[in-house]
Amino acid sequence: MISFIEKQFPVSKVSKESYKERKANNGQTLTGLGKWWGRKPLVLVRAAILGCLMPASGNPKKDMDIFLKVMSMDNRGLELRKDKSFTVAEMYEIAVKSKKLRAHIDAWFDITDDKIKLNNRVKKKDIELIIFNTMGYDEKLVKCIRPEQLKNLDEQAWNEINHHLGTSAKNLQDLVEQLSIKRFGRNVVVGDCFCGGGSIPFEAARMGCDTYASDLNPVAGLLTWAAINICGASKEELEEIKKFQKDVFDRVDKEITKLGIEHNEHGDRAVSYLYCVEAHCPECGKKVPLSPSWIIGKGTKTIAKLIDNREGYDIIVKMGANSAEMKEAEKTGTIKNSELVCPTCGKTTPISSLRRDRRDESGNTVYGLRRWEKTESDFREDDIFSERLYAIKYERQDGQRYYRHPNERDLKNEKKVNQIVAENIIAWQEQGLVPSMEIESGMKTDELIRNRGWSHWNHLFNPRQLLTISRFVEFSKECAISRKQKTVAILGINKLVNWNSRLCRWISDGANEKGAETYYNQALNTLFNGLSRGMLSLNTCWFYNINDYEINNNADIKLIDARVVNGTCHFWITDPPYADAVNYHELSEFFLAWDKKLLQETFPEWYTDSKRILAVKGDEHFSQSMIEIYTNLAEHMYDDGMQVVMFTHSDPSVWAQLALIMWKSGLKVTAAWNIATETESGGLKDGNYVKGTVLLVLRKQTGDATAYLDEINVDIKSEVRAQIQSMQDLEDMEEPNFSDPDYVLAAYAASLKVLTAYKKIGELDLDYELDLAIKDPDNSQVVQIIENAKKIAYDCIIPAGFDSILWKDLLPAERFYIKGLEAEKHNNYQISTYQEYARGFSIGSYKQLMANEKANTARLKTPTEFSMRTVGEIADFEKSLLRIVLAAIHIGIKEDGMPEKGLSYVKNQVPDYWGSRDMIKQLLQFLKGTKDIDNMPHWTESADMADHLHILVDNDHI
């Protein structure tokens, strides 16, 4: 039986839904449980599982309608999901901009004294629905809840679904069960051997599937167990869990209050403590507080000022600073480009020199900092670095907040905290209340050792943090009774340590000045200034929203190496590590150091280390590890089962590697789809952070056929064209589902579908090809096959209405611009689209063609934005016919709207004007097509001029 996902997939809509879910941030269903890297959107998982389970019929258009209906992505589903109303002003603005609605403005609205009201004769609800249904999918989503938040479809939808699928379902769980029995004779089993943050097993269980979930990492196992058992807990259990959380928090709060270490002399309580690292300037000997900036809060205009006191610096905190003082505080940071900048002598010192790093006789770097002892929690007096409290954010009893520099009372509180920790840390470590685990050397963890000399995980927490978090651990152990309460405690502690460590940045931007989490990116970054949270700001870490869902608890969750998983599944849906894998094993040890004792008590059958030795790493063993894993999965999959492998690369060489891995594992490709989700850069990343997830659909190899490359090249060409044609036949012109990168991806998949259908390709040595794909992709025949498939695809995806013969005469940069503008006409502003075009048309640089390169708002320059500037970075574009036409449009606009001036420019610049006239007309025809497109108001003026120029050229005769 062929599955829906093997024939088609609503790429555009699933991409938009995935993006909406990702942008929900902490509002996402599972993120509240704890930190994990790279959780896949639940809507993507739901679509993949449904796509595997739902059969493809002989009516593909109806199949798509029904699939969208089940996913609540059809028009009626969006109506049911709509939960936000329009203001009258919004409705009026939409009606004015819409060609379809302008005629109704007078009947719907009354405008008196610039006030817009609805006409008394119409009902707001009715007009709202009419307006909603004329909007594009993106605009509708703004007003809608996510598919997972819709409790159920309406009766009419289920009648249509059941009629087409031969079921009698009343909800999604019914449908999954009935489709499973029709296909497999029992409920479908969905497996994931890289369960990570639990997205795949959770969504499978929520859909009603039986689940098998495993991971090598205990933190991943914990998050997955919690996703199914905590989010699937009964209302009574959730009440008990919330009571347990409150009891623990109240006990910690009571003890901290009793110690008096967070209150000042006025009875005000600290919200946050700001610390900076200090070091002596090697040039003048002055002790310098280190910070890239001395702005504490831009919203409150709070700064820190350094006051020279001969031996070092006093730090004075000032609120309500003027603009000059704010600029000065920004400018006078003492860390610039990884160098200490001494405010006394003005000399700069590289931080590596300050640390006294050196090279030994063999050329290896020897770190200069002293290694801390296991029970230490602070720097020693003779250390190169020290740590200093320089500002405190307090809250008055009336709720008002303010900053001040520490006074004698505050420093006394700090001393008291340090003393308590020093007296108790040995006992706490023995009891498992604070970490005692050593930091193992690794790609990410070496930074901690090199930059601070920290040797154990407890060193990442200052005394105040150790004291507070240890109280949560101790009272959790005392209060937790059930496994679910103990699990909630571990998750809470993990959230506390993620949001309250020496690696937490202070965010000074905006009105809400606050601390960031440790893992704001996939690294362990040491800081020169950070914070410690008081109890007032720890409540949002300890308490977290737990969503309760009806879940199929028939779930088998294991800690086990993926090479030896022993559960047999109908569908394996996996998001494996990649060749440039996140170092989960290293990053998760930050949590495991705190979790060990509690994990042993809660899950005695689990181990509590990260199993570094077994982790799949992006090294020379990556491919072999993946082959072993997927060979095992193929052996533990029913013969009529399927696999969906998610990965994030579009590089043909990586595609070739993955295809060869799957091929060698006994699997064959049947389809591939690209789900694009983009967010703007965050953390340390520069530019745009673009993320797209490829769904590679696979089945078991069942034949032993052998073929030769010269025989199958014709088959590949035919398969690529057939695949693209079938997608084009299904395309919705008003709401396009596929963009050009989707067609290219389909071409990749089509070529692999032909290749992997054979057990052996006569002249191909798969081991040798895999090695080439990794080390020398230019000489890999499989990489070349995939590249050729891309060329076939681009021959098939000529812009609508563009003459195919003229298209072939265009330069690569001209094709890039025209295809980009076509994407914009279809409301596609994803930077990934332009990146794919650049690869497809072999454009090295395209920056000069872009008006905006931000994710989801990327677009090309208009003729007026190009003006007459030289475009020199892109080969041959400056002298191209398209560039001349764009310049002619600009000249026509600039010269008081006189297209004759533009035509004169074209005739002067084009040597063979009459021989090029057909191409000039074609380009102008395409460019004027941007006219009256709702999402392209920036092209209105240029489109009008292109229209006028087209008339002149068309009527021009010798």
Report the alpha-carbon distance of residue 167 to residue 897 in Å, rounded.
63
Which pLDDT score is estimated for 801? 81
Average pLDDT over residues 291-309: 96
Q: Over the chain, what is the mean pLDDT?
A: 91
CA 576 to chain centre: 16
Tell me which of 851 and 655 has the higher pLDDT: 851
List C-alpha distances in Å: 545 to 53, 144, 522, 533, 610. 32, 21, 24, 20, 28
Q: What is the pLDDT of residue 753?
A: 86
pLDDT tens digits along 184-236:
999 999 999 999 999 999 999 999 999 999 999 999 999 999 999 999 888 89
Closest CA to 950 of 888, 908, 891, 894: 888
Report which secondary-structure segment, H or E, holds 672.
strand 667-680
Residue 263's region, left for phi above 0, alpha for psi from -120 to 50, else beta, is beta
Is residue 683 very low, low, confident or very high in pLDDT (cuts 50, 70, 90)? very low
CA distance 636 to 562: 11
Indicate the residue type of 382. D
**Alpha carbon distance 284, 344 (integer Å):** 8
- Rounded CA gap, 514 and 403, in Å? 12
Structure tokens at 208: 């009603």
- pLDDT attached to residue 690: 39
Residue 732: band (very low, low, confident or very high) from pLDDT cuts 50, 70, 90: confident
Are 615 and 624 contacting, i.e. CB atoms less than 8 angstroms apart?
no
Residue 915 CB neighbours (<10 A)? 9
Please report the pLDDT score of residue 581 as a whole number: 64
Residue 688 has pLDDT above 80, yes or no: no
Q: What does the pLDDT look like over 819-857, one tens digit per residue?
A: 999 989 988 888 888 887 887 788 888 999 999 998 788
Mean pLDDT for the stretch of residues 479-503: 96
What is d(CA 689, CA 680) in angstroms, rounded to the nearest whole number? Answer: 6
Among 402, 188, 369, 416, CA closest to 301 = 402
β-pairing, 115-118 with 348-350? unpaired
- For residues 555 and 380, give the distance between their C-alpha atoms in angstroms, rounded to a whole number: 51
How does residue 682 score in pLDDT terms, banded at 50, 70 and 90?
very low
Instruction: Say how far apart CA 409 and CA 421 lie, in whole Å.
Output: 19
* Choice among 146-155, 431-440, 855-864 with the minimum mean pLDDT: 855-864
- Integer Cα distance of 319 and 511 in angstroms: 14
CB 56 within 8 A of CB 2: yes
Contact (Cβ atoms closer than 8 angstroms) between residue 375 and residue 426: yes
pLDDT in tens, 763-807: 788 888 888 887 888 888 888 888 888 888 877 888 878 998 999
Least confident of 60-74, 289-303, 469-483, 781-795: 781-795
Instruction: Cite the DSSP H helix spans in 559-708.
Output: 584-587, 589-602, 622-635, 652-664
Q: Does 379 score more than 90 pLDDT?
A: yes
Given this model, what pLDDT does residue 728 score? 80
DSSP 707-753: E-HHHHHHHHHHHHHHHHHHHHHH--SSS----HHHHHHHHHHHHHH
Q: Are 160 and 166 in contact (CB under 8 A)?
A: no
131-140, 356-365, 378-387: which has the minimum mean pLDDT?
Answer: 356-365
Q: How far apart are CA 630 and CA 669, in angstroms?
A: 13
Torsion of CA 122, 124, 130, 134, to 10 degrees: 130
Q: Minimal CA–CA distance to 782: which of 645, 695, 660?
A: 660
Please report where in the chains the tokens 């409301």 appear, as a residue.
Answer: 827
Q: Give per-residue pLDDT as tens, 9-46.
A: 999 899 999 989 988 887 888 988 999 988 899 999 99
The residue assigned the tokens 């395309």 is 731
Q: Is 518 exposed, middle or buried (0-12, 13-18, 19+ CB in 10 A)?
A: buried
List Cβ neighbours of 60 (8 Å cut-off, separation of 6 or more): 7, 8, 726, 730
Which residues pair with residue 118 across a beta bridge? 109
Q: From the centroid of its chain, how far is CA 727? A: 27
- Strands (E) in 423-533, as ranges, are 506-507, 514-515, 529-533
Q: Spell out the SS3 assignment of 85-147.
A: CCCHHHHHHHHHHCCCCHHHHHHHEEEECCEEEECCCCCHHHHHHHHHHHCCHHHHHHCECCH
Q: 């700069």: which residue's tokens?
A: 348
Note the pLDDT tens digit of each residue in 317-348: 999 999 999 999 999 999 999 999 999 999 99
Dihedral, 377, 378, 382, 387 alpha carbons, nearest 10: 160
Name the DSSP letter for residue 438. B
- Is pLDDT above 90 for 864? yes
Tokens of 866: 């190009």
The CA distance from 656 to 666, in Å, is: 15
Q: Which amino acid is at 867?
A: S
Are 705 and 758 spatial neighbours (Cβ–Cβ below 8 Å)?
A: yes
Burial label for 516, CB within 10 Å (0-12, 13-18, 19+), is middle
User: How many Å is the Cα radius of gyration of the chain?
Assistant: 31
Say which residues have a Cβ less than 8 Å from residue 598's Cβ, sequence separation at least 6.
432, 473, 476, 477, 486, 489, 490, 493
Q: Is the pLDDT of residue 680 over 50?
A: no
Task: Compute the distance between CA of residue 480 and CA of residue 284 in angstroms, rounded to an integer.
Answer: 56
Element (H, E) at 64: helix 60-70
At residue 580, the pLDDT reads: 57
- The span from the CA of 208 to the CA of 169, in Å, is 12
DSSP secondary structure letter of residue 266: T
Task: Give the Cα separation of 885 and 865 in Å (integer).
Answer: 14
Q: How far apart are CA 300 and CA 855, in angstroms?
A: 31
Please provide the size of the chain in residues: 958
Q: Higher model confidence: residue 678 or residue 95?
A: 95
Q: Pick the closest to residue 551 from 113, 782, 207 (CA basis).
A: 207
pLDDT digits (tens, 9 = 90+) for 405-454: 999 999 999 999 999 999 999 999 999 999 999 999 998 999 999 999 99
Residue given tokens 């007026």 in the structure block? 864
- 716-719: which pairs have CB atoms within 8 A and are 24 or more residues apart? 716/750, 716/751, 716/754, 716/755, 716/785, 716/788, 716/789, 716/792, 717/792, 719/750, 719/751, 719/753, 719/754
User: For residue 534, how far is the Cα from the chain centroid?
Assistant: 30
361-375 pLDDT, tens digit each: 888 888 899 999 999
pLDDT(48) > 80: yes
What percentage of residues in the chain have a pLDDT greater than 90? 69
β-pair type (109-112, 115-118):
antiparallel
Task: State the Cα–Cα distance between residues 893 and 862, nearest whole angstrom.
Answer: 12
Position 686 scores a pLDDT of 35
**CA gap 903, 901 in Å, rounded:** 5
Contacts of 6 (CB under 8 A, 6+ apart): 56, 670, 671, 697
Reply yes or no on whether the pLDDT at 511 is more than 90: no
pLDDT (average), residues 84-96: 93
> Could you read off the pLDDT of 871-928 as tens digits, one per residue?
988 878 999 999 999 999 999 999 989 999 999 999 999 999 999 999 999 999 999 9
Q: Are 892 and 863 in contact (CB under 8 A)?
A: no
Reported as a single tens digit per residue, the pLDDT across 163-174 is 999 999 999 999
From the number of C-beta atoms within 10 Å of its C-beta (0-12, 13-18, 19+), residue 324 rates as exposed
pTM of the model: 0.85
Q: What does the alpha-carbon distance between residue 188 and residue 205 come to, in Å, rounded to a whole number?
A: 10
- 85-99, 106-120, 257-271, 769-783: which range is least confident on average? 769-783
Task: Inform me whether the pLDDT recorded for 550 exceeds 60.
Answer: yes
Cα–Cα distance for residue pair 3/695, rounded to 1 Å? 14
Cα 742 to Cα 747: distance, rounded to the nearest angstrom: 9
Encoded amino acid at 709, one letter: L
Between the CA of residue 238 and those of 249, 293, 494, 544, 548, what are the distances in Å? 17, 44, 19, 12, 8
C-beta atoms surrounding 138 within 10 Å = 16
